[in-house]
Amino acid sequence: MKAIKEEIRIERAPVSKITEVDFNNLAFGSVYSDHMLVCDYKDGAWETPIITPYQPITLDPASKIFHYGQSIFEGMKAYKDSNGQIWLFRPLDNHKRFNISAKRLAIPEIPESHFIDGLTTLLRLEKDWVPTTAGSSLYIRPFMFASGKGFHASPADAYKFMVCFAPSGPYFSGKVKVLIEETYSRSANGGTGYAKAGGNYAGQFYPTQLAIAKGYNQVIWTDDNTHEFIEEAGAMNIFVRINDTLITAPVSDRILDGITRKSILTLAQDQGITTEIRKISVTEVVEAAQNGSLKEMFGAGTAAVISPITTFGFQGVDYDLPELQHSYATSLKKQITDIQYNRSEDKFGWRFKV
């Protein structure tokens, strides 16, 4: 990895907000650390990142982010082990996916040095913001958007890359009841579904609100053409266990290549669990629920790691999943978090020391 040519300039906050934070009572993503990283793309090149106090940013009303939605982001976490050492989980995969998203939205790709060096420099400055309460972590939000001006429909000529931190408590999703979507689609063939583009998530909100009004927590998205195949659960990849086989949909230009998803597949295969990466029809899931072979369904993503689904609804009927004493979801979540918090061996090389 090439280092940044110039040293990252740090402008320290005059007073820290950390003494005002109750680290034993942290909501997800609602408290922000003292500093943020900012890096501008101008005149065809990325400038050296700078670290400044966390503060509002000023944009021209004609900035293209407001008009054409060139915006991408990543979701990551930093973990502190029992010795106070800070770790990241597969950050190079986040950087790679960030640039895949950038390319799809005609945004200039950011060098690995700016992404990783900038993020780790900010982490070392904000090390006291990484929580030590059990299950807590420092949520990391790298994002990039069009700051160049113009009402004409074309890519911007200037962009802003930023990283902000939010200490967050344990993510308990509780009992998750989901509705299999039959009308709306999260993404389409040839679209931006595989990118972490802001607009993908904005488009999910309305159908999700409709599901919530019916008594569900989230939506299971189906394919855009026939609505016959399940693809994602809310903003997470989805796994289905039928008997002892763990199944997930293949990634495509509609489905995000989730880092947690890849980790689950690797761990499951390593311990001899039969896995299948293939299309999963709604009919297959309903029939498995009816005949008792459907054992588990869960979402997989950075925030919750694994979020078990207890009930799914389809065409006016709710199907409850069994409560298992030894579930794949519980076992796999523990294995991943033990690696993330440096509590177990990492034979896959996923941990990244800060």
Cβ pair 307, 317 in contact under 8 A = no
* pLDDT tens by residue, the chain, 354 residues: 677 778 999 999 999 999 999 999 998 999 999 999 999 999 999 999 999 999 999 999 999 999 999 999 999 999 999 999 999 999 999 999 999 999 999 999 999 999 999 999 999 999 999 999 989 999 999 999 999 999 999 999 999 999 999 999 987 667 899 999 999 999 999 999 999 999 999 999 999 999 999 999 999 999 999 999 999 999 999 999 999 999 999 999 999 999 999 999 999 999 999 999 999 999 999 999 999 999 999 999 999 999 999 999 999 999 999 999 999 999 999 999 999 999 999 999 999 999
Bridge-based pairing state of the strands 274-277 and 280-281: unpaired
Identify the H or E element spanning 217: none
Domain range annotation of the chain: 9-168, 176-340
pLDDT for res 179: 98
Fold identical between 9-168 and 176-340? no
What's the CATH code, domain 9-168? Answer: 3.30.470.10
Answer whether 30's CB lies under 8 Å from 135's CB: no
- Closest C-alpha to 338, from 292, 298, 305, 303: 305
The position carrying tokens 């299950």 is: 135
CA 67/CA 63 separation, integer angstroms: 7
Any idea which fold 176-340 has?
D-amino Acid Aminotransferase; Chain A, domain 2 (3.20.10)
Q: What is the pLDDT of residue 175?
A: 81
pLDDT on residue 6 = 80
Residues 203 and 192 sit within 8 Å (Cβ to Cβ): no
List Cβ neighbours of 154 (8 Å cut-off, separation of 6 or more).
none
216 dihedral zone (left: phi>0; alpha: psi -120 to 50; beta): beta
3-state DSSP assignment of residue 219: strand
C-alpha–C-alpha distance, residues 93 and 72, integer Å? 15
